[in-house]
Amino acid sequence: MHQRWQWQWNAIAATLVLLTLLTIFYPIFLFPITFTTSPPRPSTQKFSCVPPHHSYDFCNKSLPIKTRAQSLISLLTIQEKILLLSNNASAIPRLGLAAYEWWSESLHGIASNGPGVSFSDPVRAATAFPQVLLTAASFNRSLWFLVGRAIGVEGRAMYNEGQAGLTFWGPNINIFRDPRWGRGQETPGEDPMVASAYAVEYVKGLQGEELGDGDGGFMVSACCKHYTAYDLENWGNFRSFSFNAMVSKQDMEDTYQPPFQSCVEEGRATCLMCSYNRINGVPSCAHHDLLQKVRRAWGFKGYITSDCDAFAVIFEDHKYAKAPEDAVGDVIKAEPSGTPCTVSEKGLTGTRNGYKLWHIFVANEKNLLPLNQMDVTSLAIIGPSANDSSRLGGDYTGVPCNPRSLFEGLQPYIKAIYASGCGDTQCNSSDGFAEAVRISREADAVVVVAGLDLSQEDEGLDRVSLLLPGRQMDLISAVSSASENPIVLILLGGGPIDVSFAKVNPQIGSILWIGYPGETGGQAVAEIIFGEFNPGGYLPITWYPESFTSVPMSDMSLRPDPSRGYPGRTYRFYTGEVVYEFGYGLSYSNYSYKFMSMPDKIVLSTATSKDGPSEKMTHQTSDGFDYIHVDDMTSCNHLKFEAQISVFNLGAVDGSHVIMLFGRASNSFRGAPRKSLIGFTRVHTKSLTAIQVSIEIDPCKHFSIVNDDGMKILPLGNHLLMLEAIEPTYNIQSVTKMVKAVGLVIGKLSSSLDRGFVYDLIPTPPNDAGEPACSLVEAVKDDKKKGSKSKSQAADSSSLLIDHDWIAEHARQVSRMLVGGIKVVGIYIWVSDIAFKNSAIMLCQTVKAVAEATPLSEIDREERLLIHICYSPLRWTCRNCTWTSNITSSCLRPCDFKMGRVLASLQTFKCTYNLNLRWPICHESASKVRTLSDVLRQGISHHAKELKDAKALIDGNLVLNDEPCTLDRVHEVELLLPFMKDTYAEACSQKDVLGVLAFNGSVCSFAYLNPKEPISQAVSDIKGDIIMSLRSRLDIICDEAYEDVGPRDDVSQEANDGISTEKPVSQLIPHLVRKECCLSFPRRVFVPWLAGTYICDYLQSYETLEVLKDHCVELMSMEAPSDTSTILEPEIEAPSMVTKSLWDVSIPFFLASVSPVKKIGSDTREEIRKKSTKSDNVNVMGAVLFLLLSILVGSMLYVVRGLRS
């Protein structure tokens, strides 16, 4: 007993000793133990951001998405980031990130193709909607939206059960360009407008924006694919993985791109999938221009994914990359409680009637259908697909909830008998013909189901023929010959079929195309055959004859080329014979139309134009036809109108009908479509009843065409609207009296030569309210006094309405971007002579406002240039505008000018000027309180005087005389400041100096010299540019400060608030602030401009070159270069700017009350060190207390043991 107690006490004592050692060495061992544990086991968690990993910033839903994303990225290692780049993203257990499969499919229902979907318990099936091409045949936007929403709801439900992801890769909105394409069945058809409309509605429905909580969240994510010009699988020697789609700019912008643009801009899709193929030699997934257009021009904010293995295809098939890792680099640089079924009967109600609308009658001779059940007692249904529900889905189908074959759908209505006729769809044998003929003789009615299945058309499988496969035509002929009555031919499949033989066979009474109708196809077909529902579908594609297969499928051209016998493609351009045309369809009713109201013309005014006079201003002419560029219009909204149409149902039954409005220009523009769909709407009409509908028409969108350069142009003259046989005319005219543009004259006034040079005209953009800076107004005249002359005098009354302030503000901002003597030297106006004369005083006032906003020098002349451009006839007139206290029309006087190439002869001078200035901070009385910006502004002005007398070295030679520079290269300029005592500091020696303001850094400057100008002019322009640059940067900082804080009248309150109010540094009062402050100025960036010259912009450290590009477009009306290597950032490379954006302005105070140094808005290393030290102190104190406690307990146990013994 004693030995047992002895053993127990020894164990307890050993445990206490071990605890003591762990306590002592706890701070040493904790860190290595944490990071040397073995790799975690694979995570099985279902969702991310669950305890204990829910406290990261990326889990905080209250934070902005960008902040959360940055938080997550900052926590990931390189290896972890790589693991997240594929569709099967791995789990990151240490951050609580669950594994995620990005690949889920949903083209026409939740599909089992992608690994992200699993049909098992508890959800074993989902709704299988009709294939997309058949859905598009409804031409029903509401239905498209409801289908998308139903799929989205089912997808979200399966995600909640862990059986699907949230990212679904659909819709497929490629154009069904060639009838042989195996995946055409997945698309909305061949028309870009229909594909665009389908994309918008489906994506909105799937993503469920209207079901969200208002915070911009989505139900699931939609992905528009395959971007772009992808429509070939396996034809001849061409494969989708290696195919190089040669596409013209015209076809790209006119046909291939619009669906994707609508998907992004209107549908707000959160994903875009790039395709396998090359486009004009560049793989789609590595196509910088196309992918950047999605981001920059269309504003895409989602993620871009490649098609499956498209990265590898870039290396393996396209041979575009030298190695697999190069392929990845090319892509990165280019961018960027369950139930057996997830839908209930109630959920299907909203879309079931739509199923019947999709099926299309293309023939119904002698009104064979609908069948009367009183007259028909038996029905024979023949065909290998008639009793096989698995063939009704098409590709990308999941597990349907309640599939029913066509035979099963007919059985509740009539006694039906079935024979396959052929063993399968390929129908290579006639062994089953006899049985089919036998039952066709016995039945009152016969239905033959023919067509295609996935053995004929599929992903990776294009068709080689447009005829029915194998001996299907023979089967149809045999059955129709044996039947006593005309038969019904039902065509199954996605692509068009040449059934010309059936159209001329009198024994084939009705032809019904049902596409791939999905799980309810059997029921829908039965209801249509027996008249329970009036079908209303229309073909979304052209059905071509078999002869079309001679056209190479690899030819991506859409427009016909008679010189090589090329007929073109799609109904918009195809010139050959058709089996059935786009938009064709029959129903059990007939309809008539009447236009109730619509305007017969519009007059375009280029007062809404956004281009300047350096562009093509009015209408232009090509091939004898007049047009204008759509991009020249600031807005087309005011041109939209409604076409009111009356639709009359002539039939004996109610029906759902689609009104399709087509249009074309009456003049034959080169490359213009034969006709184009410009609007459609579906309405339900009662029998023998009329209903009125309206279709919105946007002339800029619906009447425009795309020219050879890929630009949209709007033809002037007559346009035809086409509604079956009705063709009203709509006329687009250009106005004869208009203001095209007002803007700034950019140039240089050379005092040494007493002449000026005009370099460019920059149009002033519309103001923040979208209103033009200048418009034309008519004065109201008393017609009674004018008699018969009222019309001509009304023309004389036109004058200008000019926004002086906006033009002056534009001039102020543009002047910041000009360098080296180039200035805003005046304004131009594009207007008629009459309007110019009537507005002379207003124009002079505008010139004065611009001059005051952009002074040319310290002592400015009251003179600027006014250029008048008259458009009829086209001519230029230059005038000097000189103003005094009273502005009159006499302020304008003509001046001589010559047109020539001035910019090409300019010499370029470059200077990098290093600043190292010190200015005293003096105590000021309350009446002379100045902010830091005041001190800086005065200091810059003082330095301008010092700089004025500085000598200069050009290319290492001291400038002594005004000899011209003859070498054609960039000349390096170095300014030499003399050593002298600081007179400014000396002047302040009698004041109370509290500190010193240090102004350090480098300024890069350019100047441009005309060959006839003296070299001293370049030195003077360099000096002026340096000072102007400093002032511009200070103005930018002050402008931002004013916008953020706003003006304050109470100076004393400002001083008392100090830094505690988080006031911008430029507004601080230096002598009342007891802290050292830092102020970072923006850096200067140079952008190529005209003929080797540069303009500049100023970027803060946190701003990117995208800001610069926006400024170039908005202020200078120019496109920034896409090649960023041409943009110069020399100030970043300056030696004194190793770790700073440009320079710092600091204010040290030598007072006892100086606070610790702290840079505004950021934590210092000292604070972090103190926090760390505090944490370490707590750990040490805890360890010591634990040690003392262990010793105390051990001593007590030792005493107790002694007492027992």
- Write out the catalytic residue numbers: 307
Q: What angle do CA 914, 915, 921 make, to 5 degrees?
A: 170
How do 863-871 and 874-882 pair as beta strands? Answer: antiparallel
Local structure of residue 112 (DSSP, 8 states) = S
- The CA distance from 411 to 136, in Å, is 28
Q: Give just the sign of the alpha carbon dihedral 244, 248, 251, 253.
A: positive
Q: Identify whether the C-beta of residue 737 lies closer than 8 Å to the C-beta of residue 798.
A: yes
Q: Identify whether the C-beta of residue 788 lies closer than 8 Å to the C-beta of residue 766.
A: no
Count H helices and E strands in the chain, helices first: 31, 46
Nearest Cα to Cα of residue 608 among 630, 590, 624: 630
Pair of tokens at residue 1137: 């700017």
Pair of tokens at residue 539: 């073909």
Q: In whole angstroms, how far apart are CA 508 and each of 257, 515, 1165?
A: 41, 19, 88
Q: What angle do CA 1147, 1150, 1154 make, to 5 degrees?
A: 80
- The CA distance from 1021 to 750, in Å, is 10
- The CA distance from 1148 to 978, in Å, is 27
Q: Identify whether the C-beta of residue 273 lies closer than 8 Å to the C-beta of residue 223.
A: yes
How many CA atoms within 13 Å lie on the side-chain side of 485?
A: 20
Give the type of residue at 1098: Y
Q: Identify whether the C-beta of residue 395 lies closer than 8 Å to the C-beta of residue 462.
A: no
- The CA distance from 359 to 138, in Å, is 8
Sheet bearing 741-750, strands edge to edge? 755-763, 741-750, 823-830, 863-871, 874-882, 892-894
| Residue 291: strand pairing partners | none
DSSP alpha helix (H) spans, 828-897? 833-838, 840-853
Q: Identify whether the C-beta of residue 230 lies closer than 8 Å to the C-beta of residue 245.
A: yes
- The CA distance from 115 to 577, in Å, is 44
Pair of tokens at residue 31: 């860190």
DSSP alpha helix (H) spans, 275-416? 288-296, 310-316, 324-334, 345-358, 406-410
Q: In whole angstroms, how far apart are CA 524 and each of 265, 494, 519?
A: 35, 18, 10
For the chain, how big is the Rg over CA atoms in Å? 39
How many of the other CB atoms lie within 10 Å of CB of 1000?
17
Nearest Cα to Cα of residue 773 among 912, 609, 898: 609
Pair of tokens at residue 624: 């004898």
| Residue 684: strand pairing partners | 656
Calculate helix-pair angle for 804-817, 840-853, nearest 10 degrees: 40
- The CA distance from 628 to 47, in Å, is 55
Q: Identify whether the C-beta of residue 1080 lies closer than 8 Å to the C-beta of residue 1034.
A: no
Instruction: Pick left, alpha or beta for residue 139 (phi over 0 → left; psi -120 to 50 → alpha; otherwise beta).
Output: left
- Write the burial class of residue 889 (CB in 10 Å: 0-12 exposed, 13-18 middle, 19+ buried): exposed
Give the type of residue at 20: T
Local structure of residue 458 (DSSP, 8 states) = B
- The CA distance from 959 to 966, in Å, is 14
